[in-house]
Amino acid sequence: MRFVNGVDAMVELRFLGRLLAELDARTRGRALYMQDPAPWTEQSLGAVLERDIYSDELPPLAVSHRLYRVLSASDVMQVVQNARSQKSTVSETELVAALNFYFANDAFIDFSRG
């Protein structure tokens, strides 16, 4: 990793739709941080950042961009995997809808109802 002023230079804010579509399995010790409160859109800005599980302190990038912790990255990955298991092709809009549903209801969305 390359750090600039204590911030991981490889991490950047991204649109949530793209972030969810490209989320990889490296979720351990990471969390999703967002700029705005839910409900989010595909254009909402956020980042998946490493976090200290023993501290409530925010990562430097979260502080500098006024982000707050939403969910663990493993929870977000479960939301994405659940959506993909229901539909062979899941759009960024549907992934964001699934995340919003999970965040509001602590349950997975059922695309067959919709």
Helix, strand, coil distribution of the chain in percent, nearest 5: 35, 20, 45
Tell me: the pLDDT tens digits for 75-103?
Answer: 999 999 999 999 989 999 999 999 999 99
- Percentage of the chain lying above the pLDDT 90 cut: 74
Enter the tokens of residue 87.
């539909």
Q: For position 3, what pLDDT does the model report?
A: 38
Residue 37 preceded by cis peptide, ω within 30: no
**H/E element, 16:** helix 16-21
Model confidence at 34, pLDDT cuts 50, 70, 90, reads very high
Distance from chain centroid for Cα 45? 10
Place of tokens 């230079």: 9
Global model pTM greater than 0.85: yes
Q: Which domain holds residue 107?
A: 3-113
pLDDT in tens, 58-73: 999 999 999 999 999 9
How many CB atoms within 10 Å of residue 17?
A: 20
Tally of domains in the chain: 1
